[in-house]
Amino acid sequence: AAGNDVCVYNRTAENAKAWVAEFGGTSAASPDLAAKGRDLVLVCVGNDDDVREVVLGDNGAAKAMEQGSILVDHTTASAALARELDSILGSRGIGFMDGPVSGGQAGAVNGALTVMLGGNDADYEKAKPVMDSYSRFSKVLGPAGNGQLAKMVNQICIAGIVQGLAEGLNFAMRAGLDGEALI
């Protein structure tokens, strides 16, 4: 919708085709084919092993990426992996940023994600116009890995809030308050 030339790869081919049918663009049968000739490659999968496979595997995106292109990994993964990818891709002249997100699928669809980034400012400035199409806020928080560390802080804070709410509700119910009415 933002006018970008998008090529989608999904490990479940039907999902990629459905995405293209709904939003436009094209799909590719593998990450390297999706990344070929692209200035910016965005990744969001399940975990460290998934990221390694999609980026560095036999048909990984890195195989097709050219010097000067940038890969932004939006997966919530480890800071160690982010530093590893930064080193590997950097040695090939490819920029890398770890950029886990907060806001879920609804945030992505509504362009309201928050992106916590690790990487350099030059890569950020190149990637920002595209990220602005699906995020309401993004910020570089230092070198590669710092985006993942910031996401860990975010998760700790959310867990603390949920724990506090549960304790408060438990207290209310033990004190004889109507929990539903209180909420």
Q: Using one digit for the tens of pLDDT, what is the confidence trace for 102-114?
A: 999 899 889 999 9
pLDDT band for 16, please (50, 70, 90 cuts): very high
Tell me what percent of the residues of the chain surpass a pLDDT of 90.
95
* Rounded (10°) angle between helices 79-91 and 48-56: 10
* Active-site residue identified among 36, 63, 126, 151: 151
- Strand pairing class (135-140; 113-117): parallel
Q: What is the mean pLDDT of residues 38-44?
A: 98
Tell me which amino acid residue 169 is.
L
pLDDT band for 128, please (50, 70, 90 cuts): very high
Tell me which amino acid residue 84 is.
E
Q: What is the pLDDT of residue 170?
A: 95
Active site residue 63: no
Structure tokens that stand for 98 in this block: 């770890």
Answer yes or no: is pLDDT of 2 > 90. no
Q: What is the mean pLDDT of residues 13-32?
A: 95
Of 1 and 134, more confident: 134
Q: What is the pLDDT of residue 158?
A: 93
Number of helices followed by number of strands (H, E) in the chain = 8, 8
Q: What is the pLDDT of residue 109?
A: 85
**CA-based nearest residue to 154, from 117, 120, 128:** 117
Mean pLDDT, the chain, rounded, equals: 96
> Distances from the Cα of 109 to the Cαs of 24, 103, 106, 121, 151, in angstroms?
14, 10, 5, 26, 20
Tell me which amino acid residue 41 is.
V
Q: What is the pLDDT of residue 74?
A: 98
Q: What is the mean pLDDT of residues 69-77?
A: 98
**CA-based nearest residue to 98, from 122, 114, 75:** 75
